[in-house]
Structure 1
C-alpha cells in the first residue's frame, strides 16, 4: 500500500475526533441552555445537514483544484469551528458553530476516500479504504471516549476547546507531511469533464442504489446516536464518561471491521458482507431496544459498528467505481446522501420515540437494516466506470 495512505489516515483520524464530540455531553448542553434533549440533538442534524449540503460543491472543487489542498484547509476550519463553539454564549451561536464544523468536516473524509481511490486499484480498494476507515474509527473511538472524560472534568466547553486545538494542530502536521509525500495525482478535471462526470455517475444503475442505501444507513444507524446518552440516563447511568465509552463502542466495531475485511472478503464476498452486515446491525438495534445495562449497550454498539462497516465499506467501493474522472464528486455525493440520512435520522427517531415509543421505533429501524443488506446484494453489480478508458 502507498505510504501516503498513512497521511490520509491521519487526516481522517483528526477530523473524526470531533465528529461525535457533543453526543456524550448533550444532557449537560441541554441543561445549560434550558432546552430539551430532542432540541440539543438537533446539533447532530445541523452538523450532518451542513456536511451533506456542501458535498456537491466540495467534490467539484476537489476534482478541479486538487483534493489534498482542499482537505487540509477544511481540516483547519473544523478545528477553528470547535474552538468558536467552546466560546458560544447562547444556543444559536453554538448551533452556528456546529454548522461551520459541518462544512469543515465535509471536506475531509469524502475527499480522503477520493485520494485513496486514486492511489489504489479497484482490486485492492476495499482493503485500502479499510485503512482510511481505521483512521476515522480510531478518531471516533478516542473522540467519544475523551469527550466523555473531559466533559466530567471541564464540561462540554472544555470538550470543544481541547478537541478543536488538537484538530488545528493536526491540520498543520498533515500539511507538512503532504508536502513531502510522493503522490501520483491524476489530471485535474475541467468543468466540462466534470459535467460529463455527473452524467456518467447518474447513468450508472448502481448510483441510485448506492445513494439510497447510504441515506437509509445514516438515518437508521447514525440517527440513533444522539439518543444513546438519554437512554442511559433513563436507566440511571448519568456518567458522561460511561456514555462516551458506550458510543465509542461503535468505533471499536469499525476498527474490528478494518482488521477483518482482508480475511472476510475472499471468504464471503461482497454480497455476503452486505447481507451479514445489515443483519448484524438489525440484531443489535433490537438488543438496544430492550434497554440493557450499559455494559450490554456497549457490546451491542461494538457489534453494530462491525456490521455497519461491513455493508457501508462495500457501498463505498461501489461508489468509487461510479466514475473515474469525477471520483471525488461521486464519493462526495455518496457522503451527501449519507449525511442527509443522518440529518433526517435524529428527527425521525425523536418523532418515533415521542409518538410510538422507543421499542417500536428501534424495531422498525432493525427491520429496515436487515432488508437493506439483501436488497443491496441483489441489485448492486460490479462494473467498470463508463469513463474508465480515459484515465
Structure 2
C-alpha cells in the first residue's frame, strides 16, 4: 500500500489490536501479593510471572517477525490475540504455581505476536514523515489497554480475586480478537506478503549492518530493565507504606499508562519543539527524576503522579527508538521491529531479577538511584549516536518514500 499523507482507516483496526494485547500485560502486577499468598511463595518469586511473560515475549520475536514478513502480518496478529485470551482464561483455572507459570508463557507468546507486528503494519501504511505520529496513535491503543488493564486488575482483584482478573480480561481479549478479524476481512492489509526467504536473509544483513541497530537495540534493553523491571515491586512498596488495597496498586501503576497517553496527545507539539535528540534526553531525564522519587517512598497519590511523569518521559525516548527501528530495513521491517521488541522484553526479563537482587542486597534507595543514573546516561548516548539513515534496501520497495 502506498504511504499516504493522511492516516489510513486500517490504522483503527491496528490500534484496537494493540489495545486488546495490552490489557493483560500489567494485569497481574497489582494482585501479585495475593497470588504469592495463594501459592505460599515470596513476592520475589511471584514477580517471576512478569519475568517469564517478558522472556517468552522476547524469545518468540525472531520467529514472529520472520513469520509475519513471510506469511502475512494481519493474519498472524489475529491468531496471537486469540491465543492470548485463551491463555488468560486457562490462567484463571490454574490450580498450582507451575500451571499458572505455563499459562503466562502462553500469554507471552500471544502478546508477542501482536504489538511489534502492529508497529510494522503501521510503518508499512504511513510514510516516514508522519510515522512517529502514526506510531503514537498505535501506542495510544496500547497505553489505553495498559491503563484499563492495570486499573481493572486492582478493582476486579478486590471484588473477584486474581482469578477473576484473568478470566474477565481473557474473555475481553477473545471478543476483541473476533472484532479485529472481522475488521481485517477483505482489507488491503491481507494482501499476500512479497517477502521471500532470500529477501528475509538479506533483511537480517541489512538490519545488522546499519550502525543504528547496535545503539537502538541496546537502548531498549536498558529501558526495559530500568523502567519496566520495577513494576512488579510497586505493589509491595505500597504494602510497606500500609496501602494494602489492590485498587490503589492498580491506580498507581496505571499512572504510567496515563503518562503514555499524554505522550500520544502531545507528541505532535513536542517533536517540533524539542527535536529527536531533545526528546530522548528530556525523556530519559524525566524517567530518572521519578525513579529517585519512588525510592523515597512518598504517599500513593504522589507515586501515581510520579509514574504519570515517568510514563511521559519513557515514551518520549521510546517512541524515538521505535521510529529508528522501523527504518533499519524496508523489506524486513516486521523482523526489525520484532528484534526491537526482543531486546526490550529481554530487558524486562532481566529487570525484575536485577531489581530483586538490588533490593535484597543494597536496599531500595541505592538500587533505584542507580537505575536513574543509568537512564540519564542512556538519553545522552542515544542523542549522540543515533542518526537518521536511509535503509540500505529502501530502493527495493518503490512505494516507500525515502
- TM-score tier, shorter chain, comes to over 0.9
The 2-side partners of 1:181 and 1:57 are apart by: 25
Could you list the per-position Cα deviations for residues 249-306 of structure 1 after superposition, in whole angstroms to 9, with x for gaps in the alignment? 0000000000000111111110010000000000000000010000000000000000
1:332 maps to which residue? 338
Alignment of 1:266-305 (within 5 A): 266-305=272-311
CA deviation map 1:278-336 (0-9, x unaligned): 00000000000010000000000000000000000000000000000000000000000
Residues 108-151 of structure 1 deviation map (CA, whole Å, 9 limit, x = unaligned): 00000000000001110000000000000000000000010000
Q: TM-score, normalised by structure 1?
A: 0.99
- The SS at the match of 1:64 is helix
Matched, 1:56 2:62: yes
Structure 1 distance, partners of 2:310, 2:105, is 27
CA deviations 1:342-371 (Å, max 9, x no partner) are 000000000000000000000000000011
CA distance in 2, matches of 1:175, 1:216: 35
TM-score, normalised via structure 2 length:
0.96
Q: Is this contact kept in 2: 1:74–1:108, CA < 8 A?
A: yes
Match in the other structure for 1:220: 226
Hey, what does 1:257 align to over in structure 2?
Answer: 263
Query: Aligned to 1:345, which of 351, 365, 372?
Result: 351
Equivalent residue, structure 1, for 2:4: none
Residue 367 of structure 2 corresponds to 361
Equivalent of 1:11, from 17, 35, 52? Answer: 17
**Cα root mean square deviation, aligned:** 0.8
Unaligned runs of 5+ in 2: 1-6, 398-402
Mapped partners of 1:181, 1:139: distance in 2: 24
For these two proteins, the number of residue pairs brought into alignment is: 391
Correspondence for 1:231: 237
**Structure-1 separation of matches of 2:88 and 2:189:** 30
Match for residue 30 of structure 1?
36
Question: Could you say what secondary structure the match of 2:37 adopts?
Answer: helix
Q: Which one of the candidate residues 87, 96, 100 is aligned to 1:81?
A: 87
- Counterparts of 1:149 and 1:188, CA distance in 2: 46
Cα offset, 1:185, TM superposition:
5.0
Deviation of 1:180 after TM superposition, in Å, equals: 3.9
**Structure 1 residue 187, shift from structure 2 partner:** 4.3
The alpha-carbon deviation at position 238 of structure 1 amounts to 0.3
State the shift of 1:186 in Å.
8.0
Q: Give 3-state SS (helix, strand or coil) of 1:322's partner.
A: coil
Answer whether contact 2:184 2:190 (CA < 8 A) is retained: no
Would you say the 8 A contact 1:118–1:186 is kept in 2?
Answer: no
Runs of 4+ in 1 over 3 A off after TM superposition: 180-187
The match for 1:132 among 138, 146, 159 is 138
**Residues 71-91 of structure 1, C-alpha deviation per residue, up to 9 Å, x if partnerless?**
000000000000000000000
What is the alpha-carbon distance in structure 2 between the residues aligned to residue 185 and residue 282 of structure 1?
44
Distance of aligned partners of 1:231 and 1:197 in 2 relative to their CA distance in 1, 3 Å threshold = same
User: What's 1:313 paired with?
Assistant: 319
Q: Residue 111 of structure 2 is aligned with which of 81, 84, 105?
A: 105
1:163-183 deviation digits (Å, cap 9, x = unpaired): 000001100000001114344
Give the stretch that moved more between structures: 177-186 or 153-162. 177-186
